[in-house]
Structure 1
Amino acid sequence: MLAISHLLLLGSSTTRWRRSRRPVLTPPLTNVVINDPAVLRRLLVDHADAFSSRPTPPFPEDFGGTHSINSVPYGSTWRALRGNLIASIFHPTRLGVLAPLQRDAVKGLIAGLSSSITGWRGSEVVVVRDRLHGAVFGLVACMCLGDSVRDRDVRTLEREVGRFVFTFVADSALGRSTLVRLLHWRRWRRYSGIVNRLSKLILPIIAARQQSRRGGTGIRCYVDSLVDLRVPNNDVDAATTTTTGSKRPLTDRELVRLVFEFLGANTVSVVSCVKWTLAHLAIRPEVQEKLHHEIITSGSHDLISEDRLRGLAYLRATILESLRLHPPLSVIMRNVDAHDLAACGAGAPLAAADDGGTRWVCLVVKVGEVGRNRSMWTDPKEFRPERFLAGGEAEGVGPVVGPKEIRMMPFGAGRRYCAGVEVAMLHVGYFLAALVRDFEWALPVDGHSIDLTEKHGFFMVMKTPLRARVTPR
């Protein structure tokens, strides 16, 4: 699961962990920025236990800000939440269940885009985001809320989640400062209103899902697993091998927060990757033609299956190259003991905390710079999928960090890397293969080029919405 909360804290971390790992508000932590791949491997992989807690996001208390997989401290509650997510949605045995949902989402996107272009007499410059976002969000909503969720509820959720994700980026200071909230109370009220509407939308959908579930209909979805899940009453430190005490169901606030996290993260990360890739394919028509040839010669024109996707080496290389240049996450952040950081060779230890306890700092990793490190890559700014093919400089490098070295980390690294990376790769593959198979993507003819400038916020997205000339093949 990609982080959708901790990025808000870049430049102004607001929490510290006591010895019990409980978050308490304190003055901002010191940021320590590290982008060296060798050092990052020592920290995030070799010493993962010490570098696996994230800062608490500055969400309103009513939104249960600390109760999501991405922001809960590293411990027994985190293990319960992440383990449930993997078992219920992202386990390989679940991929076959998701296949019909993926096919329907792709068919809907292609049909909608085709009808629009036909109405424009064959070829037109289009803004890609809206139709693509709607298709991906619909797929993710069915995975999360069940295949019987009403279309009008999906569209309403898409609108509100979009407002939250893309509006709060500009107002992230609201969550970090009481003074800012007082000075800009109208903006804070508008933001809080989105949170309240999300709660009022999500809870009735969950209730309706549980009612239909009693009839034994539909696939088992993420919400089903959350309702059944029991988490520890008292979280314990990750180093503790046994968990004592009773367990409890998730509260309504926690359910809403986890549903929001799932909808937002799994949508924006896929949409972002597909758009970045289409942008490069429009700029590099020779790469697009090579990819199109692989897709149409690999099997049935109409059927794109999981097995077929796994056999498309150039498609996978193209996606990996896009992720290397434009990872979904702008940064990853960890709350770490300054002395642990120093012991791993990552800087001098800071002075002890005033109370004689641990001095915590915020480790910040700029993910994009890792994938463009000149010591690790030849011509790192060039879009060249061939580097990931057999015999290329990145042969064997994948989206998940390996045991030997870090060359790129688009989905994080260590204990808290993205649990849904394989499903995300499949989603990107499904949509991208169909879009390249059925349409030619080219630069606009109105004299405008495609702007590859990045905008950093929750995710690394395109500053200027992708506009491309689309022609049916």
Structure 2
Amino acid sequence: MEDWLYHSLSITFCLAVSLLLSSLRPVTGKPPLPPGPPLLSLIGPLIFLGRTNFSIERIISAARSRYGPVFTLYLLPSRPAIFVADHAVAHRALVQRGAAFADRPPANLPSRIFSSNQHNITSGAYGPLWLVLRRNLTGKVFQPSRLRRFAGARRRAVAGLVAGVTRQMSADGVVVVEGLLHRAMFRVLTSMCFGEGLAADGVVASVEALQREFLTSAIGFQVFGVCPAVTKLVFRRRWKRMLSLRHRQEELLVPLIRACRAQRDTAVAGDSAAVDSYVDSLLGLRIPEDGGTRNLTDGEMVSLCSEFLVAGTDSTAAVVQWIMANLVAQPEIQGRLRAEIRQVAGASIQEEHLPRMPFLRAVVLEGLRRHPPGHFVLPHAATETDGGGVTLEGFSVPRHTSVNFTVAGMGLDEAVWPDARRFRPERFLPGGEGADVDLTGGKEIKMMPFGAGRRICPGMALALLHLEFVVANLVAEFEWREVAGEPVEFAEKQELSVVMRRPLRASVVRCTRNERT
């Protein structure tokens, strides 16, 4: 009831302001905003109410057809959002002119609460703080030698995943893999975040439960991004739940951070174990403030740890499930992949085998193309210039305006990807259809789902490693088939990532040792 009260009031307000805005003439002498329909602020209340069954993508597709590859939608009155729906334009903006679009739009209230006022990487404004945080992550956590330190954690997580599948098989042969994937990924990322010594089963379970609650609730919290003085009153229970969730994050993660600090303080000087986890790197980090530097607060480290855990678990688990769904629906692809794994790795898959499995990499890349975990990259914004903004394709992009790139739509562009809705890993093999399309940047353009420009995803190598290692082990150990009378459903649901609306159920049979060797 409270949702629809807010919805009705919002529509009335949006209509009034939109009509007023549509009557105003643009300032002469400046490039105009990209074209677009003026009254789409009607959809704003639906989005910010967290209606996960409401899809904006049909509106975006229609706007792309009518207005071209760059257009403006007023999701809320006086708050234009610019959309880029073309590979070549995205490449020019994010790669060739990456510095011009390197910023983020101002964070809304929920984002500020969970990011400690934008003291994280995904929402932080481009500047000295962001650079320090990102360089720390890439140099001390995602550096290849550091990633190798957690190979044991990955092996144990996959062993637990295989054991979980085996337990579910013992009942009726039907496996629901979604929860098992999340548990496996949280095992790895909890070890990387706090160190293997603190990643006991109970800790992993607690971290998983709390962060999964955050993932499933985050969309609904966006209602507080609109008129928070009003929405905090109208949605009192939701507001209290959001504050409680943040408080519980601190209650759970701060003791783990302090345990890392105690271990670091007692470590022998020069011992490499002193920087053995993400938290270890944060404890010694100095961030810029007021002309000087300071250490991170516990609350800021909670925000960074939460960001690290969410980014490394949710999207990976979602993509693995999408890939396995496609392998269930197309057993011939699954068979070809299993044959490659047997030929290269035999009975035991090691991480060093993965670079010698080109079809496995093609399957993973096709999964990311067809089912990107986010249908849009995180919004960008123009960096500050003398004129208060920049231009894009001849249009004005004002300072702080959200610039959005339609990753999912680009992945379905038939001009680049023939038969785009079909899951065809061969297109990522040498000579495959769409593999050699040149759009003033070649394959770099088509890799846009992984990021571009100065914000190229620092975790791309880790994500591909996790995706390949998990998929390879699931296919090597088991044969995955459709449950009789239950064809795979590919309907989507928006959480923090885009997930399967109906989690994959598969009939699973253990491969014999001869088959695995």
Q: TM-score, normalised by structure 1?
A: 0.84
AA paired with 2:310?
G
Letter in 2 for 1:257: S
Q: Is the 8 A contact 2:85 2:406 kept in 1?
A: yes
Deviates more, 1:318-327 or 1:63-72: 63-72
- Mark the CA change 1:82 to 1:365 in structure 2 (over 3 Å): closer, same or farther: same
Matching residue within 298, 301, 323 for 2:347 = 301
Q: Does 1:107 align with 2:159?
A: yes
- What is aligned with 2:196? 147
| Aligned partners of 1:124 and 1:470 also within 8 Å | yes
Percent sequence identity over matched residues?
37
C-alpha spacing 1:296/1:47, structure 2 compared with 1 (3 Å): same
Matches of 1:412 and 1:129, distance apart in 2:
26
1:343 aligns with 2:395: no
Rg: which structure is higher?
Answer: 2
The secondary structure found in structure 1 opposite 2:451 is coil
1:317 is aligned to: 362
Deviation readout 1:45-65 (Å, 9 max, x if unpaired): 111111011232432655414
The alignment partner of 2:79 has SS state of coil
Distance 1:404 1:277 in 2: 21
1:39-438 aligned at under 5 Å gives the runs 39-55=89-105, 56-59=107-110, 61-63=112-114, 64-117=116-169, 119-120=170-171, 124-149=173-198, 150-178=200-228, 179-216=230-267, 220-234=276-290, 245-302=291-348, 304-332=349-377, 333-336=379-382, 343-345=391-393, 348-349=395-396, 359-395=399-435, 405-438=444-477
- Distance in 1, Cα, partners of 2:183 & 2:436: 33
Q: What is the CA–CA distance in structure 1 between the aligned matches of 2:475 and 2:165, rounded to whole Å?
A: 12
TM-score where L is the length of structure 2:
0.78
Residue identity in the other structure for 1:442: R
Deviation at 1:209, TM superposition (A): 1.7
Q: State the one-letter code of the partner of 2:164.
A: G
* AA at the equivalent of 2:448: M
1:472: which partner in 2?
510
Whole-angstrom CA distance in 2 between matches of 1:466 and 1:172: 28
Amino acid at match of 1:47: R
SS at match of 1:441: strand
Structure 2 unaligned blocks of 5 or more: 1-43, 49-75, 268-272, 512-517
Q: 1:223 to 1:172 in 2, by over 3 A?
A: same
Which 5+ residue runs of structure 1 have no aligned equivalent?
1-7, 13-25, 235-244, 351-357
Q: Paired residue for 1:20?
A: none
The answer as to whether partners of 1:330 and 1:458 remain within 8 angstroms in 2 is: no
**Which amino acid is 1:156 matched to?**
S
Match of 2:81? 31
DSSP-derived class of the 1:336 partner: coil
Relative contact order (C-alpha < 8 Å, sep 6+): which is higher? 1
Q: Distance in 2 between matches of 1:336 and 1:281?
A: 41
- In structure 1, the partner of 2:40 is none
Check conservation: 1:31, 1:361, Cα contact below 8 A. Answer: yes
Q: Give per-residue Cα distances to partners, 1:368-399, cap 9 Å, x unaligned.
A: 011111221111111000111122135489xx
Q: 3-state DSSP class of the match of 1:449? A: coil
Q: CA RMSD in A?
A: 2.6
Letter of the 2:262 counterpart: Q
| Distance in 1 of aligned mates of 2:363 and 2:235 | 44
CA change 1:411–1:142 in 2 (3 A) is same
State the one-letter code of the partner of 1:135: A
Q: Which has the higher helix share?
A: 2
Q: Secondary structure at the match of 1:167?
A: helix
Cα distance change of structure 1 residues 172 and 381 upon mapping to structure 2, 3 Å threshold: same
Distance 2:211 2:324 in 1: 24
Q: 1:147 to 1:387 in 2, by over 3 A?
A: same
